[in-house]
């Protein structure tokens, strides 16, 4: 699987939740893959909602978002999130800019939650570095 999301913003998200802990490159890569999978799932569900409404354009409300944040407030870049949204949906669908920003916001919240939990797991294991094992453990326990 090709990961569309660059690892650098994912690393930044993990670091802002890690306090004094270090972050391994493998942890950023693993979380980027998980974010991509989640984004693709959410876009598929949004496409089903748009289709039920007779639309070919995904809107922010298809992701359950009423108020769209300012994209400059997000760490995740919108262009890769757009590519993630299109991974599993039919090419006849369009993704509005508000839908892209809404999806990026949802995925960033998702990443923050995982990163916070991974930091707790690393501390519990008495390590100073968050690793991909912490990310994988989170998903085996909570997903």
Report yes or no: 86 and 95 within 8 Å, Cβ to Cβ. Answer: yes
With cut-offs at 50, 70 and 90, classify the pLDDT of residue 3: confident
Mean pLDDT of 52-62: 97
Q: How far apart are CA 72 and CA 14, in angstroms?
A: 19
Q: What token pair was written down for 109? A: 């919240």
At 17-47, the pLDDT tens digits run: 999 999 999 999 999 999 999 999 999 999 9
What structural domains does the chain harbor? 7-17+31-108 (1.10.20.10)
Tell me how crowded residue 39 is: count the other CB atoms within 10 A of its CB: 26
Q: Exposure of 77 by Cβ count < 10 A (0-12 exposed, 13-18 middle, 19+ buried)? A: middle
Mean pLDDT of 2-20: 94
Q: How far apart are CA 92 and CA 4, in angstroms?
A: 20
Report yes or no: 90 and 47 within 8 Å, Cβ to Cβ. Answer: yes
Tell me how crowded residue 143 is: count the other CB atoms within 10 A of its CB: 8
Given this model, what pLDDT does residue 2 score? 78
Q: How far apart are CA 23 and CA 2, in angstroms?
A: 22
With cut-offs at 50, 70 and 90, classify the pLDDT of residue 122: very high
At 69-98, the pLDDT tens digits run: 999 999 999 999 999 999 999 899 999 999
**pTM score above 0.75:** yes
With cut-offs at 50, 70 and 90, classify the pLDDT of residue 115: very high
Q: Phi/psi class of residue 126: alpha, beta or left (left: φ > 0; alpha: ψ in -120 to 50)?
A: left
Mean pLDDT score of the chain: 96
């Amino acid at each position: 699987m090709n990961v569309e999301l660059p690892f650098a913003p994912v690393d930044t998200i993990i670091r802002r939740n890690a306090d004094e802990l270090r972050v391994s490159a493998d942890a950023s890569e693993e979380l980027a893959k998980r974010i991509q999978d989640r984004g693709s799932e959410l876009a598929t569900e949004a496409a089903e909602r748009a289709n039920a409404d007779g639309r070919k354009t995904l809107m922010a409300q298809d992701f359950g978002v009423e108020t769209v944040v300012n994209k400059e407030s997000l760490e995740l870049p919108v262009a890769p999130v757009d590519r993630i949204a299109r991974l599993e949906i039919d090419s006849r669908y369009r993704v509005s800019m508000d839908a892209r920003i809404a999806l990026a916001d949802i995925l960033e919240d998702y990443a923050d939650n995982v990163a916070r939990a991974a930091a707790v797991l690393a501390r519990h294991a008495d390590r100073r570095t968050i690793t991909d094992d912490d990310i994988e453990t989170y998903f085996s326990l909570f997903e």
